[in-house]
Amino acid sequence: MKRIVVIGCGFIGARLTQEISFAGGQLLVVTRTEPHLALGLLPGVELRLADVSDPAVAAEVMEEADQVIYAAGGLMPAGSEANPVLDIQLTLPPLCTVLEAMRVKPVTQFMLISSGGTVYGQPRYLPVDESHPTEPVSSYGMVKLMCEQYVGLYARLHGLRACVLRCANVYGEGQPTQRGQGAVGTFLQCARQKKPVTVFGDGGTVRDYVYVGDVAAVVLALLKRREDVNVLNVGSGRGTSLTELIGLVAEVTGNKVEIDRRPPRDFDVREIVLDVSRLRALLDIEHTSLEDGLRRTHQEMALSTAPISEAIG
Confidence of residue 178 (pLDDT cuts 50, 70, 90): low
Q: Confirm if 105 and 63 have CB atoms less than 8 A apart.
A: yes
Q: What is the pLDDT of residues 20-57, one digit of tens each?
A: 999 999 999 999 988 877 888 899 999 999 999 999 99
206-211 and 169-171 strand pairing: parallel
Confidence of residue 140 (pLDDT cuts 50, 70, 90): very high
Q: What is the pLDDT of residues 283-304, one digit of tens each?
A: 999 999 999 999 999 999 988 7
Asked whether residue 228 carries a pLDDT value surpassing 90, the answer given is: no
Asked whether residue 66 carries a pLDDT value surpassing 60, the answer given is: yes
Average pLDDT value for residue range 192-217:
96
Confidence of residue 179 (pLDDT cuts 50, 70, 90): low
Average pLDDT value for residue range 233-248:
98
Q: What is the pLDDT of residues 266-275, one digit of tens each?
A: 888 999 999 9
- Please report the pLDDT score of residue 291 as a whole number: 97
- Please report the pLDDT score of residue 56 as a whole number: 98
> How much is the CA Rg of the chain, to the nearest whole Å?
19
Asked whether residue 246 carries a pLDDT value surpassing 70, the answer given is: yes
Nearest residue to 164 (alpha-carbon basis) of 125, 124, 109, 212: 109
Asked whether residue 225 carries a pLDDT value surpassing 90, the answer given is: no
- Please report the pLDDT score of residue 177 as a whole number: 76
For 16-108, where are the E strands, in sequence order?
27-31, 45-49, 65-70
Task: Give the whole-number percent of the chain exceeding pLDDT 90.
Answer: 85
Average pLDDT value for residue range 199-220:
97
| Cα 67 from chain centre | 18
Mind giving me the DSSP string for 181-222?
--HHHHHHHHHHTT-PEEEESSS--EEEEEEHHHHHHHHHHH
Q: Confirm if 120 and 142 have CB atoms less than 8 A apart.
A: no
- Please report the pLDDT score of residue 312 as a whole number: 27
The residue among 201 and 313 whose pLDDT is bigger is 201
Domains and CATH numbers, the chain: 3-176+208-237+272-291 (3.40.50.720)
- Computed over every residue of the chain, the mean pLDDT equals 93
